[in-house]
Amino acid sequence: MSKYVIADPPPSPGGGPRRRAQRRAVNRTGERLRHVLHYVAGGLLIVVGLAFGAVALRMLQTHSSFSDAAISYFVPSPQDAFGKDRIYLLVMGIDYDYTSTDQPFSSHSRSDTIMVAGMDFPSRTVKLFSVLRDTGAVINGHMTKINEAYSDGGARLADQVIGDFLGMPTLPNGRHFDRYVVINTAGLKDVVDAIGGIDVPVTEAMNYDDSWGHLHIHFKPGLYHMNGYQAQAYSRFRHDACSDPCRTKRQQQVIRIILAKLQANKFNDITHIPELLGVVNRNVKTDLTFDQEKSLAVAFKDVKPAQLLSKMDTIGYTGTEMTRLGGEVLIPDQAQKARFVAELLGDYGSPPSPPPEAMAAVKPAGIHLIVQNGSGIKGLAGTAAAKLRRAGYVVDTVGNADAFTYDTTQIRPATTVPLVGERVRADLGLPDAVVSPATDATPGPHPVVIVIVGKDYAAALATVSVTPAASTPP
């Protein structure tokens, strides 16, 4: 019986027709893929080259650095983003309340902080003033506290009520303000934590506990490096003789300190702006687009705080009045309100240089200084403190600042005595030192000024800089 074995023929030396065809197909696929990758890489190089070329052209046109040119090329100017040279913002801060199960909620919250800001793009200047939350205003036909507008009708009703109260002009869309910004109570806390805390001079004892509201405030007079929770608590404190007006001043003071640190520690560069905007937007409700936010952040990032906030004040009151539904309200100072609004709507620009006779009227003997080393150069704060003592100032403490990254010396008055910061700057011999707008956070026995000595002071003394170190003494 014959047996037949059915088997494949032995492979040929070249792998057979089928294998060779498969290998040729794979090779052709690989060649096509390589061609595609070459085209893609070439296209990317062209795009990158065009981008760098455009940035280089912008550098030549504006005589700016590469980073500034790149920002200006990829981020629209505020004029382009908003279609005008100036905008008016309504800024409100709302608080959380807590349920019986200790869960936070903010629905129907009142706007415990009310600020109105004008942002002028050509001069890169901001004017800002506050409205006390208990100020009387007409809401839905009856007199009550102005902070009820947001709880009753959100940002739209707040725009109408606050705009009518101030006498702001009406825009084509029927509103008084170009944009609104509503910040919940965690917004300040998260921003302060994101920048590593802030240095705040406290000029009176503060003690208050509200377990239901998760608010515990305990400060003694002195300089505090506050984290986000502490800064938030400090800004909310109003249980003193001054009450809401002083709380508003503390809020304005904290804003100035944050702006000064953002600039001094370079948190306002292109690598940090998106991160900070992300922190802010977690706690903010606004009708600003993200492109508009970026355009504002970039346009104002290098402006000195004294120019940036050329005007920051609070509408005062002349008395109180009992209302049928709103309880006791504050009667606003109408003349002051009209003057603030006229300044908001008027011309903007840098503040003029103080006259010499006004500078001479500031007496150093009554001014107390806190001198801090922000340069990392050993002994620099002590050298500055010695010079200021010889000029007649009272130096309370000399120590290290929160960081050794200050290129420019910062002078931060915690008093509204006119020209105190400017006099300190002149006696220190640093005409380019940054003087923050003066604040009067709380009543105190004497004017206090914080001086953070930067690397520019070493250059002025023609000393040799050393490498900053975390343990560098003052």
pLDDT number for residue 456: 85
Against a cut of 0.85, is the pTM above it?
no
d(Cα 368, Cα 398) in Å, to the nearest integer?
Answer: 12
pLDDT at residue 294 greater than cutoff 70: yes
pLDDT at residue 211 greater than cutoff 70: no
pLDDT number for residue 126: 85
d(Cα 153, Cα 361) in Å, to the nearest integer?
Answer: 50
Total residues found in the chain within this entry: 474
Q: Which two tokens stand for residue 411?
A: 């002078």
Average pLDDT, the chain: 77
pLDDT at residue 329 greater than cutoff 60: yes
pLDDT at residue 161 greater than cutoff 60: yes
Q: Find which of 76-80, 276-280, 296-300 is predicted with most confidence, using mean pLDDT.
A: 76-80
d(Cα 140, Cα 326) in Å, to the nearest integer?
Answer: 12
Model pLDDT for residues 95-138, shown as the tens digit of each residue:
755 455 544 545 557 788 898 989 998 888 888 888 998 999 99
Of 267 and 388, more confident: 388
What is the pLDDT confidence band of residue 139, given thresholds at 50, 70 and 90? very high
Q: Find which of 47-56, 366-375, 433-442 is predicted with most confidence, using mean pLDDT.
A: 366-375
Model pLDDT for residues 407-428, shown as the tens digit of each residue:
778 888 887 778 888 899 999 9
Of 68 and 263, more confident: 263
Q: Which residues contact 390 (CB under 8 A, 6 or more apart)?
A: none
pLDDT number for residue 259: 76
pLDDT number for residue 109: 74
Model pLDDT for residues 214-251, shown as the tens digit of each residue:
678 888 888 889 998 898 888 888 777 677 777 777 88
> Where are any strands of DSSP class E within 292-402?
309-315, 317-323, 327-332, 368-373, 394-400
Q: Which residues contact 215 (CB under 8 A, 6 or more apart)?
A: 208, 209, 233, 236
pLDDT number for residue 141: 87
What is the pLDDT confidence band of residue 267, given thresholds at 50, 70 and 90? low
pLDDT number for residue 69: 47
pLDDT number for residue 36: 55
Q: Find which of 54-68, 223-237, 438-452 is predicted with most confidence, using mean pLDDT.
A: 223-237
